[in-house]
A and B are shown apart, each in its own frame.
Chain A
Amino acid sequence: MTLLSKVSGTRHRLRRCLSVAAIACVLAPLPGITIPDASAADAQPAAGPAMMHLLSAQQYRQIIDDTFGPDIEVNGRFTTETRRAGLLAISSGVTSVTMAEMEAFDNLARSIAAQVTDRTRRDYLIPCKPASERAVDDACAAKFFEATGRFLFRRPLTTDEVKIQVEAAARATEKVKNFYEGLSLSLASMLASPEFLFRQEIPVSDPAQPGQYVLDSYSKASRLSFFLWNSQPDAELLRAAQAGDLNTPAGIAKQVDRMIASRRFEGVVRNFFSDMLRFDDFGNLQKDATVFPKFSLTVSSDAAEQTLLTLVDLLVTQHGDYRDIFTTRRTFLTTTLAAIYGVPLVKSTPRMEPPSWQPYEYEEGNPRAGILSHISFTALHSHPARTSATIRGKALREVFLCQTVPNPPANVNFTVVQNTDNPLYKTARERLTAHSTNPACAGCHKITDPIGLSLEKFDGSGSFRNDENGAHIDTAGAFNGKPFSNPLELGKVLHDDPGATDCLVTRAVSYALGREIADGEKPWHTALNKSFADDQYRLPELFRRIATSPEFFRTAEPQKLPVKTAASSN
């Protein structure tokens, strides 16, 4: 079964199952949906495969917000995402959904549908009124599902699909004697369906290049909207898809320009960097209050926002050079963050309102510049009660240079590194030097520690210090043969390192595709790298070039999957 036919199969199954009384039937056949790992394909395709992606929690919320309005409460538990190749965005294409998770989706769907059809919202969310609230009204139900379904399924519903939803609503209405409750149950079935929960990309033969495959128009629209807005296509994009505009470079460019110009693009930049910089780890971040009393919950929640505001300002608002993220002195602070950074910042509000974000620029001579000096890096990549030059060095290489640093073997003795009270080894550098005399450890520490040690003057909470245990902290080191003496100089070295921009391109393309770059797409990656430099490393230009590339919509020939039948399963 090809991906296409697999999708068709789920549609068919949906049709078979969809009735109000049998919503569980929609769920029951789907436990353990497993989307194959594209990289496991036998052949080396010219392009990567079309994908199915489970909606992320953020995408789900944004879609409900876009479709029904921000006052709909989305209270539910979502599937935990696992980072692959540096991004959570990739994991949604290689995932399983358990029965418990499907049940959670079903409960969430019912909750949302009930809110959409309740008395306070039905007048503006349902485009018609039934002849009687206690009776079936197929015409009104059809009007609602046609209007709403095209956003939820990210394409127009087929006549059969509309008919199924209308019939389901009618059957439920007859039972409960209430049109809106019937409509609600049918809508819940849509929201719990694979058509909604999974972004399904449909490959079609490329008429311009026989033997090649591209996404169909609606799949193109979805790929664009999830890349540039992290949500479903809006009405204009769906119109363009329907009109065939997305089959021409000019039509695509027009839509891409419109989307990048939108304020919603900022949201994607935030989402992309939250993912790339691993800000989901803030959920598990703990600091020892006796060692770092300034590191409160407020600091933890503000730290990621500081970096995101800095990045959006530099890359989107100022249209700046990506490489400057390592050297910029401009940032945004709250008074609480300013206290931990040891800089003055007056509340901007005169009447003691909650502190607001304020732009701030470190003066010359301040040891901070670039996002490596932010709490979101220094504290996030430290232990609860002390720094870790190794963890910071590893994070820097993995996050900003797309390198892979192996985890330490299980039998390593960390005693020397962990004992910060040992009078023989007062600083992290001294402790790591002693630890690295073990040849088994030295190899990896050579990779991580020199750059990690350069950040040692930022303690485990992100505050600045000159000494550790009374000994001066030496921040000198070298990276790729280029020496630096402090974090500011390290930032400049990274600014000029082609590995950093190459990594950004890799992450951006993977984020856009929702999968790792296929071997056949490497020339495209190379070309994007070059154009990124030509564009003075402007992020919106990179995103624009990705979204307008023919390669962005090209897919490999659909692969046949082994068909699991009841008989073969047994």
Chain B
Amino acid sequence: MSVCGRLMAGLATLGISGVAAALPATAAETRNFVVSMFAPASYNVEGDCSKGINIPVGEQYMRELLAVGYTKEALDKLAEGQDTTMFGGFNSQWGRAVVWRAKINGKPVNVWVNPAATPDPNLNTLDGKIGIGFDLDGKGPDQPNAFEDPLTHEKGVDNQYFRATGCFTVFRGDEKITPGAYLSAWSILQGGMPAWLISLSGEDLSKDGDVTVTFDMAVEHVERDAQSEVLRDMTFRINSDPRNHHEFAAQMKDNIISFKEPGDLVAIFGEEMAYPTLLLRQARLRLQIKPDGTLRGVVGGYQPWKDALSAGNQANMGSDWVGVYYNLRKSADANPDPKTGENQDISTAFFIDAVPAFSVAPAKSKKITGR
């Protein structure tokens, strides 16, 4: 069945009109997809961290505990019989020392709740010239921190998130190798979060022309195939929450779909740890329909740098979260706070993959009456 037929068949079978009504009046073809991978677009190359890759998180904890007053002897005692390559859990002396190393008014506080209450470890940031993304500020190549995108060769690319995190081993990767931290987080995330849907509508999606790109969250989550990849051709109901519904006027040129104008993109993933909510301001898109019918692309924009953090990152991603915290805060490059002048957003870019799916509009809610 053609993709167009897929949608129309769905409408006919399910008696659904909502989807059709939401489509642009001129749309002759619509293809629906479910996001199968979403991860910050790392693109690391040899020598892009001139000061070196940041040391393993266990060693970093040792350094930071020494910096806040622990003696070598005291740390050796704490580490006795402990796996000090990681946090170690709240029930171990080592783990508690790691967590409660921050202080406010001389009293120990949880470092993950109060990262600013412990000194900046000044971990290394990436100083290479190659990075994925978009020229978000439109300032072109003449910026000290701008990258050249290795895939499009566009210069002046803003991706300060990559600079902040690119020297942590778990965040390093490239176009083909998703960084371990994101791969792990996304795999966990997908099992519980609602699926994220993309719809492309246009006159003829095999030719250049106008396209409408729509993002929605689904009611259902994705399912896996026999290779543990996201199962294609599943059917998803669109969540009726309007906060998740975003339509962008786009254009296809040489099989690349891009937004005509930047816009805000929001996805409420739920209660999961890695991306409870994704907010990208002035989002840009570069998306390609591959010969096998799947999507591969990059979405970029400015993200509140605090959104990029979560307590789970440290425990599960094997990086010093305090170091990441300070790096992100220092690297933030947009949306200055009117009072403090400190930037609240950071430029970033994500790889996004999606596989064909069916999507249908939600049924109208019924009024629930009392007994």
- Indicate whether A339 sits within 8 Å of B232 (C-beta atoms), given known contacts A366-B1, A366-B9, A464-B1: yes
Which segment of A16-24, A172-180, A236-244, A341-349 sits at the interface? Answer: A341-349
A339 partner residues in chain B, CB cutoff 8 A: 223, 231-235
Q: Which residue of A lies closest to B221 (CB)?
A: A352
Contacting pair B1 A342 (CB below 8 A): yes
Q: Is B26 an interface residue (CB 8 A)?
A: no
The smallest C-beta distance from A355 to any residue of chain B, in angstroms, reads 9
Q: Is B14 an interface residue (CB 8 A)?
A: yes
Find A344's partner among B14, B219, B221 (CB 8 Å cutoff): B14
Q: Is B360 an interface residue (CB 8 A)?
A: yes
C-alpha gap A340/B229 in the complex (Å): 14
Contacting pair A289 B231 (CB below 8 A): no
Would you list 20 pairs from A and B whose C-beta atoms are within 8 A, ordered by A residue?
A: A289-B226, A293-B225, A293-B227, A293-B229, A294-B232, A294-B233, A335-B235, A336-B223, A336-B231, A338-B234, A339-B223, A339-B233, A342-B233, A343-B9, A343-B358, A344-B14, A344-B358, A346-B237, A347-B237, A365-B5
A347 partner residues in chain B, CB cutoff 8 A: 220, 235, 237
- Indicate whether A346 sits within 8 Å of B235 (C-beta atoms), given known contacts A352-B220, A363-B9, A363-B13: yes
Find A335's partner among B5, B225, B227, B234 (CB 8 Å cutoff): B234
A464 partner residues in chain B, CB cutoff 8 A: 1
A340 partner residues in chain B, CB cutoff 8 A: 233
Chain A 148-175 near chain B by CB (<8 Å), digits 1 or 0: 0000000000000000000000000000
Q: Is A196 an interface residue (CB 8 A)?
A: no
The smallest C-beta distance from B190 to any residue of chain A, in angstroms, reads 14
Q: Is A295 an interface residue (CB 8 A)?
A: yes
The smallest C-beta distance from B355 to any residue of chain A, in angstroms, reads 10
How many residue-residue contacts, CB under 8 A, span A and B? 74
Q: Which residue of B lies closest to A289 (CB)?
A: B226
Q: Within residues 346 to 360 of chain B, which ones have a CB less than 8 A from any CB in chain A?
A: 358, 360
The smallest C-beta distance from B191 to any residue of chain A, in angstroms, reads 12
The smallest C-beta distance from A514 to any residue of chain B, in angstroms, reads 39
B360 partner residues in chain A, CB cutoff 8 A: 344, 346
Binding site for B on A (CB under 8 A): 287, 289-290, 292-297, 335-336, 338-340, 342-347, 352, 360-361, 363, 365-366, 464
Binding site for A on B (CB under 8 A): 1, 5-6, 9-10, 12-14, 219-221, 223-227, 229, 231-235, 237, 358, 360
The smallest C-beta distance from A302 to any residue of chain B, in angstroms, reads 13
Q: Which residue of B lies closest to A297 (CB)?
A: B226
Contacting pair B226 A287 (CB below 8 A): yes
The smallest C-beta distance from B358 to any residue of chain A, in angstroms, reads 4
C-alpha gap A293/B220 in the complex (Å): 21
B6 partner residues in chain A, CB cutoff 8 A: 342-344
A290 partner residues in chain B, CB cutoff 8 A: 227
A352 partner residues in chain B, CB cutoff 8 A: 219-221
C-alpha gap A366/B224 in the complex (Å): 26
Q: Which residue of B lies closest to A296 (CB)?
A: B226
Contacting pair B13 A360 (CB below 8 A): yes
- Indicate whether A292 sits within 8 Å of B226 (C-beta atoms), given known contacts A343-B9, A344-B14: yes
A343 partner residues in chain B, CB cutoff 8 A: 1, 6, 9-10, 13, 358
C-alpha gap A297/B231 in the complex (Å): 13
C-alpha gap A74/B6 in the complex (Å): 46
C-alpha gap A56/B94 in the complex (Å): 62
B358 partner residues in chain A, CB cutoff 8 A: 343-345
A292 partner residues in chain B, CB cutoff 8 A: 226
Q: Which residue of B lies closest to A288 (CB)?
A: B226
Contacting pair A294 B1 (CB below 8 A): no
The smallest C-beta distance from A166 to any residue of chain B, in angstroms, reads 57
The smallest C-beta distance from B7 to any residue of chain A, in angstroms, reads 8
Find A338's partner among B219, B235, B237 (CB 8 Å cutoff): B235
The smallest C-beta distance from B13 to any residue of chain A, in angstroms, reads 6
Contacting pair B226 A295 (CB below 8 A): yes
A336 partner residues in chain B, CB cutoff 8 A: 223, 231, 234
Find A345's partner among B221, B223, B231, B235 (CB 8 Å cutoff): B235
The smallest C-beta distance from B168 to any residue of chain A, in angstroms, reads 32
The smallest C-beta distance from B154 to any residue of chain A, in angstroms, reads 34
Given contacts A339-B234, A365-B5, 8 further A-B contacts (CB under 8 A): A293-B227, A336-B223, A339-B235, A343-B1, A343-B6, A347-B220, A347-B237, A361-B13
The smallest C-beta distance from A328 to any residue of chain B, in angstroms, reads 16
The smallest C-beta distance from B364 to any residue of chain A, in angstroms, reads 13
The smallest C-beta distance from B346 to any residue of chain A, in angstroms, reads 34
A338 partner residues in chain B, CB cutoff 8 A: 233-235
A365 partner residues in chain B, CB cutoff 8 A: 5
A345 partner residues in chain B, CB cutoff 8 A: 235, 358
Contacting pair B226 A344 (CB below 8 A): no
Q: Which residue of B lies closest to A345 (CB)?
A: B235
A287 partner residues in chain B, CB cutoff 8 A: 226
C-alpha gap A293/B232 in the complex (Å): 9
C-alpha gap A296/B235 in the complex (Å): 17
Contacting pair A293 B14 (CB below 8 A): no
The smallest C-beta distance from B111 to any residue of chain A, in angstroms, reads 36
The smallest C-beta distance from B365 to any residue of chain A, in angstroms, reads 11
The smallest C-beta distance from B278 to any residue of chain A, in angstroms, reads 22
Which of A287, A297, A336, A343 gathers the greatest number of chain B CB atoms within 10 Å? A343
C-alpha gap A354/B220 in the complex (Å): 11
A296 partner residues in chain B, CB cutoff 8 A: 224-226
C-alpha gap A290/B229 in the complex (Å): 11
Contacting pair A294 B225 (CB below 8 A): yes
Q: Which residue of A lies closest to B5 (CB)?
A: A365
Contacting pair A344 B10 (CB below 8 A): yes
C-alpha gap A455/B231 in the complex (Å): 24
C-alpha gap A557/B231 in the complex (Å): 61
B221 partner residues in chain A, CB cutoff 8 A: 352
B1 partner residues in chain A, CB cutoff 8 A: 342-343, 366, 464
C-alpha gap A340/B235 in the complex (Å): 11
- Indicate whether A344 sits within 8 Å of B235 (C-beta atoms), given known contacts A360-B13, A363-B12: yes
Contacting pair B226 A293 (CB below 8 A): yes
A366 partner residues in chain B, CB cutoff 8 A: 1, 9
The smallest C-beta distance from A156 to any residue of chain B, in angstroms, reads 54
Q: Which residue of B lies closest to A368 (CB)?
A: B1
C-alpha gap A91/B13 in the complex (Å): 44
B231 partner residues in chain A, CB cutoff 8 A: 294, 336, 339
A297 partner residues in chain B, CB cutoff 8 A: 226
C-alpha gap A365/B4 in the complex (Å): 14
C-alpha gap A11/B358 in the complex (Å): 64
The smallest C-beta distance from B263 to any residue of chain A, in angstroms, reads 29
Q: Which residue of A lies closest to B360 (CB)?
A: A346
The smallest C-beta distance from B228 to any residue of chain A, in angstroms, reads 9
Contacting pair A289 B227 (CB below 8 A): yes
A335 partner residues in chain B, CB cutoff 8 A: 223, 234-235
The smallest C-beta distance from A496 to any residue of chain B, in angstroms, reads 28
A361 partner residues in chain B, CB cutoff 8 A: 13
| 3 closest Cβ pairs, A-B complex | A344-B10, A344-B358, A289-B226
